[in-house]
Structure 1
Amino acid sequence: MTQPREPERSRNSPKHVVFVTWKAGNAPAFEAAKRLGHRVTLIRSLQMEKSQNIDFDASPYGPFVDQVHVLEDATELDALRARVLDVHRECPVDGFVATVDALVEPVSKIAEEIGVPFTRARGAEAAKQKDRCREILAAAGVDSTRHAVVSGLPEALEFARGTGYPVVVKPARGSGSEGAHVVADEQRLREVVEQATGNDSYRAGILLEEYLSGRFVSAELGLSHGRFLRLAVSERTTWHRHEALETGTTIPAVISAEDHDRVMAFAEAAVSALDLGLGIFHVEVMIGDDGRPRLIELNPRIMGSCLPNLFRLAGGGDIFELLVRVHLDEEIDWGTTAFTHYATVRWFGAAERTPKPDRVPDLGWATAEYGESLHSLTVRFPEGDVLHPCRGNLGNFGEVQVVHADHATSIRIAEEIVGRTADQLGIEVTR
């Protein structure tokens, strides 16, 4: 298992780390910072916790956090700035950690204002404005995927005539696959653009992109003191009925050494073109049939959901500790990640609108049959009497994590468990 080799100063010089997040699953990062001897401050965002049905107070973060501040909406720049300045006056901040797209941008601006190393604000903003990101990569000669922000149907039809179908329609700003569609024909394009016009999710614009086919992977890489840290290439799966919806990941991907190097070199070139400066990044890539990597999306933050845990389960080490150290601007020599297992996650939600089952069934059979290969299986229904169609990451109500020494077996077990859970629930799920 690979662990970063650290300079002596990291353990002998306690620092003040401020986490800005609404993810309860970041508790291992708080623990890592505390284990390294640092002071830990947490700034929460109540509005998003409520909207995602997150019970932060039930998560095991308390022993690892010295001070907690709760904002109604931490994405609101002025409110976050005021709180951070109060914290900074009380105890100067040495490093920020933000693991959510919507928080990286405001944190990056505040960090620059007070002179704390962090991902560069201009690059973070460009990464999340998808059309701007593509323009920068095209100008740098990194990627030339055709795209356009359209104001309505006539421009959308003109773009599709130029590229051919299918085309991808998505919000110009956004995350979690929310609002994204792969559109197969003109009739469907008319429907999607009509739905998008005036929709708040598309307030930054309706982005059309050339459809990319091939093998869908992501590069997980860090950047510290101008040196890239190649952490992993992960393989991704999508739902065949709504191709924009991701249904799972396996770490590491089974690809050739040549493809691995091409993907990593491409991701490094993309991060360099945006001049992100510092951080751990999640770069989604399509490997075309010609072997050429093309950008799907560049995220100026660590991989989301349970993927840091998958990285650890696969034998890659403690990526949360690395995250803390990178954002404290330490010099890090990572080396090569030496995975020992394959860790797979499958997420699932309702395929169509359906009445919510009365209760979560007994899932004890999964542990009994799959033993240590099954790391976790959770089913948690949202409030209300109805399960709405899952068309983005926020619509999932179930998750299974599996770890196995064999790649195919890891995936097979995860998919079997999803299928059997769906049968037990008596509903059709995304998978």
Structure 2
Amino acid sequence: MTQPHAKHVVFVTWKAGNAPAFEAAKRLGHHVTLIRSLLMEQSQNIDFDSSPYARYVDTVHVLKDATDLDALRTRVRAVHAERPVDGFVATVDALVVPVARIAEEIGVPFTDAAAAETAKQKNRCREVLAAAGVDRTRHAVVGGFEEAAAFAAATGYPVVVKPARGSGSEGAHVIADEAQLRRVLGQAADGRAYAAGILVEEYLTGRFVSAEIGLAHGRFLRLAVSERSTWHRHEALETGTTIPAGIPAEEHDRVMEFAEAAVGALGLRLGIFHVEVMLAQDGTPRLIELNPRIMGSCLPNLFRLAGGGDIFELLVRIHLNEEIERGPTAFTHHATVRWFGAADTTPTPGHVPDLGWAAAEYGDSLHSLTVRFPEGDVLLPCRGNLGNFGEVQVVHTDRATSIRIAEEIVARTAEQLGIEVTR
């Protein structure tokens, strides 16, 4: 039951997986309002109504498209008039900026709207960080092949091509040579992913990690450095994460200092942020991208499994503009996720095989294993995070064992399916 001192928390999301965040807000005694986005749910085959979210939410509003700023503004103003909003939570890339704009209009603390917009416009983000002396990765927004080829000639291959604005690794490619560049940009001309422009960047080498940091009342909260894995056939595709990263303490601190400098240079002001970093062999951190929202997918659950606590509760408290006293996270375990999809176009298997062997063999180390095929007779090649049909989560006190078990389960599941998967 909502307590007399309850504040009003408004979530704007299409993710049924955010139910733990709704639960955290309710557990803290607050009144919870949820604004859903029907088109986004449908496009991702999300069955929100079958999720357990309802028990944690006091009021639900369903918009056709919550990214429609005018429609969202009208709904939020009506909600605010009925019960003043104390804090917003938006965990999805496409919704952070519109929520930030509306929060500023009605005077509710939230992530800075202009800074969030800059973070999502990747070339602009790089320009701001270069001006601040934080990161000087070479990049250019190009109109087509000729300009991209000129950039590559100056920097050398490989180069990275990605949408100037986007998420989930969709449309991102590591380009090995001019022939591949011509082919990828020829395909990009017809794709909506590049509507905001084509960004070409120098290729960064090293160890791929991410920093999860909070910011409240001008103070940074160092939450985690995670290590990331990618697919050898398509380097831009992430295949998994382990929390915490297996890096020395001095490298951990260097990554955190870099992430704090990047967030500070943008002026994001308030929230939990996901900063992807390439840690070069000489120890220099370089930005891959900065997301003005909490880490996505199942990563908040990995954080909890590794012993970091309830990051969703922390998220709610930050967005209610509370003073947070918290030291660095003291993890007790290593939690690993591996995602997988079809490596190439292949017929959809007729059924999901019996996966009971995984729990029988790996016991408590296996947290979850799911395989869910999209509708249709054919599985398309997975080249972005949204193309995965499988996920395994593993937790163990030993980092190497956590990773090994996750990768073994993916390999054996692929054998059962009889298809090659991304891993």
Q: Normalized against structure 1, the TM-score is what?
A: 0.97
Inter-partner Cα distance in structure 1 for 2:218 and 2:170? 33
- The residue number in structure 1 matching 2:284 is 292
- The residue number in structure 1 matching 2:175 is 183
Inter-partner Cα distance in structure 2 for 1:428 and 1:192? 23
SS at match of 2:52: coil
| Structure 1 residue 198: Cα displacement | 3.7
1:119 is aligned, of 104, 111, 122, to 111
- The residue number in structure 2 matching 1:302 is 294
- The residue number in structure 1 matching 2:354 is 362
Q: Which amino acid counterpart does residue 353 of structure 1 have in structure 2? A: T
SS at match of 2:36: strand
Inter-partner Cα distance in structure 2 for 1:138 and 1:245? 26
| Structure 1 residue 189: Cα displacement | 0.5
Runs of 4+ off more than 2 Å: none
Q: Is 1:404 aligned with 2:396? A: yes
Inter-partner Cα distance in structure 1 for 2:14 and 2:254? 34
| Structure 1 residue 12: Cα displacement | 8.0
Instruction: Give the root-mean-square deviation of aligned CA atoms.
Output: 0.8
Inter-partner Cα distance in structure 1 for 2:358 and 2:50? 25
Q: Is 1:206 aligned with 2:198? A: yes
Inter-partner Cα distance in structure 2 for 1:413 and 1:55? 30
User: Number of aligned pairs?
Assistant: 421
| Structure 1 residue 199: Cα displacement | 1.8
Inter-partner Cα distance in structure 2 for 1:54 and 1:421? 24
Unaligned runs of 5+ in 2: none
- The residue number in structure 2 matching 1:254 is 246
Q: Which amino acid counterpart does residue 187 of structure 1 have in structure 2? A: A
Q: Is 1:387 aligned with 2:387? A: no
Unaligned runs of 5+ in 1: 1-10
Q: Which amino acid counterpart does residue 200 of structure 1 have in structure 2? A: R
Inter-partner Cα distance in structure 2 for 1:210 and 1:197? 21
| Structure 1 residue 263: Cα displacement | 0.2
| Structure 1 residue 371: Cα displacement | 0.5
| Structure 1 residue 288: Cα displacement | 0.4
Q: Which amino acid counterpart does residue 73 of structure 1 have in structure 2? A: D
Inter-partner Cα distance in structure 2 for 1:197 and 1:270? 32
- The residue number in structure 1 matching 2:331 is 339
Q: Is 1:83 aligned with 2:50? A: no
| Structure 1 residue 222: Cα displacement | 0.1
Inter-partner Cα distance in structure 2 for 1:201 and 1:345? 26
Inter-partner Cα distance in structure 2 for 1:399 and 1:336? 29
Q: Is 1:326 aligned with 2:318? A: yes
**Could you list the per-position Cα deviations for residues 4-60 of structure 1 after superposition, in whole angstroms to 9, with x for gaps in the alignment?**
xxxxxxx98310000000111100000000000000000001111111111111111
Q: Which amino acid counterpart does residue 412 of structure 1 have in structure 2? A: R
391-400 vs 330-339, which moves further: 330-339
| Structure 1 residue 334: Cα displacement | 1.0
**Could you list the per-position Cα deviations for residues 92-137 of structure 1 after superposition, in whole angstroms to 9, with x for gaps in the alignment?**
0000000000000000000000000000000000000000000000
The within-5 A match list for 1:53-68 is: 53-68=45-60
SS at match of 1:40: strand
Q: Which amino acid counterpart does residue 420 of structure 2 have in structure 1? A: E
- The residue number in structure 1 matching 2:15 is 23
Q: Normalized against structure 2, the TM-score is what?
A: 0.99
- The residue number in structure 1 matching 2:231 is 239
Which of 1 and 2 has higher RCO (CA within 8 Å, sep 6+)? 1
- The residue number in structure 2 matching 1:8 is none
